[in-house]
Structure 1
Amino acid sequence: MKRDALEILETGYEAIMVERLFKSKIEVRDGHICFADQKICLNDYERIFVIAIGKCAVSSAKALEDILGDKITSGIVLDVKKDEFKNLLSEEGTHPFPSAKNVFVTEQIIEMLKQATKKDLVLTVISGGGSALLCLPYKTDFQNQKEFIEELMKKGANITEINTVRKHTSSIKGGQFAEFAYPAKLVSFILSDVPGDDLSVIASGPTVMDKTTIKDAEDVLKKYDMQNSMRHLNISLTETPKKEKFFENVTNILLGSNMVGLEAMKRKAEDLGYDAYIEDNKLEGEVVSVSEKIVTKNYLPKSCHIWGGETTVKVKGNGIGGRNQEFVLASLPYIVPNMVVVASASDGWDNSDTAGAIGDKDLFKRASDEGLETEDFLKENNSYEFFKKVGGHINTGRTGANVADWYFVLTGEDSE
């Protein structure tokens, strides 16, 4: 059954291969770039800039370069890895926290956007990881910003809350990218890594008119008791642009999301003979409680139940691991025979050099036989070391995609 689980998971990864996704949804035909139900005449513009940001930046920029060829004037690709391009500058930044390099490249991007006129076309790719990579803190430095956001994450804030704060402590997020690009025509191809696919939340919505206000950011900071840290780290809040004129020439297109992988996994599970269900594509919550709730449900035999989303970890210890490994670790005491539990990051990086974990009753027994208590590892947030000792890691390498995480429960002929 583990083999079936890994086949199902692999199908999800194949479905979100970014270059394949782009080439299936974007094409140049008769001098027009065509996508969704729209087309833009390339000859109407003197220059075409490509700016790709996030963990999908390199692979998406590769696809756009193949599609557009020499029509690209110039551009910048900011990812956690570098590659070679003909007319694009590739830069390697840091994630999940900002760095001086991220700030430097962001300033280069802003200078390029400021050069654009109404006679230019700016094609942008926004993907997960963009919140940390595209970084220009407002009235503070990146080190204070890093410490501030890290504390907010450790307190268990979800991605929407974190990005609300990021937008209002930044000089580039929350629609400010679009303001810099004005009056050029801006098309933003967006790959979602957030539950619910809210375009204003993905990478903190640099090309989308922000619906939140300073008051919303203040509410988040109050909820997590961050006021003292705000003063200590010299963090100030700024309002995001609300003037409609900055967004009149902006087209935001959701090109890919978690659901693409979920649907592919569902089909694969059915092909393997399981009754398959996509339970939710907006899974959120504290990872240990979410894991227990999911694994202790009563499932019919020979079934596959799939979720997409992004849980949160309350950091209490100094261990190594990520939310997907912690999800499976927390599930192990509750797994019944003939059940397999999988949690894996679509980008292949679960806060460590592994994508996630796979667990079943045999793995739990092996850990118990070796005197390894799951609760001890959970207290230290040390899921990585647990699975390193007993097996169960899922290793994909960085995938070049990022559409949040996948979780599923697979049951055999008799799960009782």
Structure 2
Amino acid sequence: MAGLKAFGVPTQNIVVSLAGYYAVNDGGGGLFYWDSGATEADNNGTVIIPASNPGSGRWRRTLTDKDYNVKWFGAKGDGTNDDTAAIQSAINSLPARGGTVYFPGGVYSITSTITVGNGDGGTNFSTKNGVKLIGEGGAFGVDDPNMRPTVLMCNATMPAAIDVRGRISDVHIENIHIRCILNATVGIKLTAVSGTQMRNVKILHYTEVGLFIIGGNAPVGNYNIFNEFDNVNVASTHNNSICLYMDGNYAVQNDTWITSWRNCRFDTVNSQNSVCAWFKFVDSNSFYRCHFACYDSSSNGIIFDAQANNDFPSGMAFYDCSIYNTVVYEDATHKIRKNYFYGNGTYDNEVIPTHPKLIGFTDDGRNFNMALQPLSTMTANEIGNVQWINKGLAESVTLPAGGEWEYDILLVNISTGMFNRVGGIAAGGSVVNNTANVFKFARVKRLKA
């Protein structure tokens, strides 16, 4: 590249082949043509001004595809060279409608935050959308640093490794391993984003929050919506840290909602007083086959925090998830609404939620906090009243007090897959079944007062 800049101003429109940015075949080469009428600023990658600094005339890279390779802009990916400016220049050089910034396999050292978009989360929306940061892989299960495909390494203190500034749409971050090495406060921060996709991303060694998702300020609409996260692994190795933090702006009703998570893991490892996921002003987000894992008793799996946002979190749904435990923060005037768990894990030291607004059933067939309603509008004392009584492995079925009741009980042995059914008529208050090691689902009907 230095040779191209020193080439001088040609007397006619010609094409030059650049063999590499620093050296032959280092990935930064390509074809450049001379555009005598161009006046754009030099971006060190696709638009080059000769060293003589003419008022007009620029070398332009011939773009054979839509991907902007960070090595075109001088990134080395050798773990030593400071690649911050090159990466940022590649992002900034994309057109307004966006495009792909490609990171070939390597370790890219950064010394300040990489920004995507130029919004402020308020009235100034990003003038650029559709930015995609794509690497060669997030290095899942790879311990050898020489074998990790694409790594972003934070080699100086910074507020965040990547900061996505909205309102902004259709940002993709894929196949990248982010190592904060206790230099970055936040791994990735997303503000007022929609249509975001994050896949095969690993975030490690931040000091406060791994993945920080926050709603924007006024106007209404600077919320987070229609985002998707797949195979995202966030791990806390630092005490008092949070893997995933999701909030909005309650005062202006910009929340984080309608977002899906699939096959993700949030892990506090052995850090103390840490949290896998902290939810505040959030609504209708879904998690499928995700893990919220803790290995120190001082840490928590999920915190549902309503203290500054009454009626939220709300409508969160967890399908076949493993959750170490759940904690609810409320006060006299701020309460959560209902949140749901389907097939909640029980085989890895998980604690079944006890808060009445955390409702669901476990992977071994037990329901929790379900208020099954009678099948009629009759009161409990009226003849014909029907009620449901569900009991666990070591619990007995006792009929409601008073009168005479008909009962029909389904006995389920999850471990053997066997079912049995018993029934009869007995006086109110009677213990009608105490079979051990089975779950009991009873329908009872009042026959006499």
Q: Which TM bucket (shorter chain)? A: under 0.3
Larger relative helix fraction:
1
Higher-RCO chain (CA-CA 8 Å, sequence separation at least 6): 1
Larger relative strand fraction:
2
Normalised TM-score (structure 2): 0.23
Normalised TM-score (structure 1): 0.24
**Bigger radius of gyration:** 2
